[in-house]
Amino acid sequence: MFRSIKSLFKELLEGEDLSGNNISNPELAMAALLCEVAAADSQVEADEEKAKLALLMHLLNIEEEKALSLIEQAKESIKNSVSLYDFTTQLRELEQSARFELVKAMWEVANADGRIDPLEDAVIRKVAELLYVDHSEFIRAKLSVIKN
């Protein structure tokens, strides 16, 4: 027991992630956030799956194969995650415009099935707060998706 307590303190002092979820890849974090919003209402529609893939390819400027791989990795990371914070902490370093585009992409995934569930809205709202996206930008992103 003393050994496990000692290792816990060592991990704390060394700054290791105690949750077991070591998300150090911003691309994976973005994929995870798109997956989180799609799954927020417990129903992932085919339209949402297509939107996730297309938006991830667009956001990261990557090929379909790489995007599919990231989505699969993200789904596994979500299982080990304790909160959205696991995915947003490293994305705060992105420029404001990139954070806005991510929030907008999340709105597009949520709206891909033709309606935005209140649970999807809540996830996007929380992510926007954690990424320090102003509320006015949060609303602007939502309106730009709804109007199209």
pLDDT, tens digit (0-9, with 9 covering 90-100), for 51-74: 999 999 999 999 999 999 999 999
- Sorting pLDDT into bands at 50, 70 and 90, what band is 45? confident
User: With 60 as the cut, is the pLDDT of residue 4 above it?
Assistant: no
pLDDT value at position 83?
A: 87
- Helix residue ranges per DSSP H, 61-117: 64-80, 85-88, 96-111
CB atoms within 10 A of CB 1: 5
Please give the full DSSP string across 1-32, using - where no structure is assigned.
-HHHHHHHHHHHHHT--TTS-----HHHHHHH
pLDDT value at position 138?
A: 95
Gap between the Cα atoms of 25 and 5, Å rounded: 29
pLDDT value at position 8?
A: 45
User: With 90 as the cut, is the pLDDT of residue 102 above it?
Assistant: yes
Domains of the chain listed by start with CATH number: 24-147 (1.10.3680.10)
pTM, full prediction: 0.81
The CA–CA distances, whole Å, from 101 to 15, 44, 107 equal 30, 22, 10
pLDDT, tens digit (0-9, with 9 covering 90-100), for 89-99: 989 989 999 99
